[in-house]
Amino acid sequence: MLQPGGDTRVKVLVTGGAGFIGSHLVDRLLERGDTVTVLDDFSTGSRNNLAHIPATAPLRVVEGSVLDEELVASLVRESSEIYHLAAAVGVRRILDQPLQSIRVNLRGTENVLDAASPGQRILVASTSEVYGKNCSDALRETDDSIIGATSVTRWLYATSKAMDEFCALAHHRERGIETVIVRFFNTVGPRQTGTYGMVLPNFVQKALRDEPIPIYGDGRQRRNFTYVADAVEGILRLMATPAAVGQVFNMGGSEETSIEELARRVRAVCGSRSPLQYVPYSCAYSAGFEDMQRRRPDTGKLKETVGFSPATPLDEIIRRVADYFRSRNGGS
């Protein structure tokens, strides 16, 4: 994209850019020569995720919230591309802070989209959670959402992100905003912490310390895990593809596994002696917590549109996550 004055550098805004996925995206944007602004309130993101970037890089970090309408508007106006990743994340955080989660996911996305103008392209990060209890084989973007009762707090995240999608599509249809929506399936990799209930970093850290690996429920729940570098590659390709505008895409890994099998593979890759510890949901979450037995993506639409879909093998992902935590702990 050619900027005024002949400058070929794209001016990019990344909300939530100090987070796990966001910081990896920032790395790639800087590598390709873009000028990047990060907006992050550091509630779940970390300055450490960006600490490795040289001070001379064309990166500006703004500490602030997507709930600050004026700040968001000023940053959006000066950007050609916007990657809206800021959101309330993690099952634990959603259950502990439902009101703030709703505000961030709904009002924050509305602020970003309202500030945009036709010609600006915006990627809106969504989630596989929008499928809810739909356990069909290979979920497609057009499949139904099956959401639980409003009395079950867990479903507010799925519902709020579904509303984000509706909002993004409406801005595209009525205002000509070039929106692209991506539903992430269990994105994992270096820099992800287990603080808010993310399963793989929790398993790996326990395994490296030979501590019991906690498996909630019976461990038969089946998931697909997406390596973060694959997810970033996918969204960059989507943002560069005009046919992706106004569309929704699954972003998920190709390898399905049960949570119990994931724990066994983590233990094997890490060379760990950790026992597996089965924990009833009632001991980990509030009464009435609901989980899905299966959530597997169909990424055919992504492959057809951009010629790419995530394919990093699960054992390789586990190795890279283990190496990351070993490096943080001095090699132990």
| CATH number of the domain encompassing residue 40 | 3.40.50.720
280 within some domain: no
pTM for the full predicted model: 0.93
271 within some domain: no
Closest CA to 231 of 12, 16, 13, 20: 20
Q: Is 187 helix (H, G, I), strand (E, B) or coil?
A: strand
Closest CA to 14 of 54, 50, 51, 55: 50
204 within some domain: no
Per the structure, how many domains does the chain have?
1
276 within some domain: no
Range 25-38 average pLDDT:
98
pLDDT of 289 reads 63
**Is residue 285 pLDDT above 70, yes or no?**
no
Element (H, E) at 166: helix 155-175
Residue 80: which pLDDT band, with cuts at 50, 70 and 90?
A: very high
Range of lowest pLDDT (16-20, 137-141, 152-156, 185-189): 152-156
273 within some domain: no
Tell me whether residue 227 is one of the annotated catalytic residues. no
134 within some domain: yes
317 within some domain: no
Range 25-44 average pLDDT:
97
Contact between residue 232 and residue 28 where contact means Cβ atoms under 8 Å apart: yes
**Is residue 149 pLDDT above 60, yes or no?**
yes
Question: Which of 157, 216, 227, 285 is labelled catalytic?
Answer: 157
Adjacent-strand bridge partners of 279: 216
Host domain of residue 137: 4-192+226-254+292-312
Query: For residue 100, what are its two tokens?
Result: 């703030």
35 within some domain: yes
Residue 38's CB: how many other CB atoms inside 10 A? 30
pLDDT of 152 reads 86
Q: CB-based contacts of 161: which residues, under 8 Å, 6+ apart?
A: 87, 105, 126, 127, 129, 130
Exposure string for 41-60, b = 16+ CB within 10 A, e = fewer: bebbbeeebbeebeeeeebe
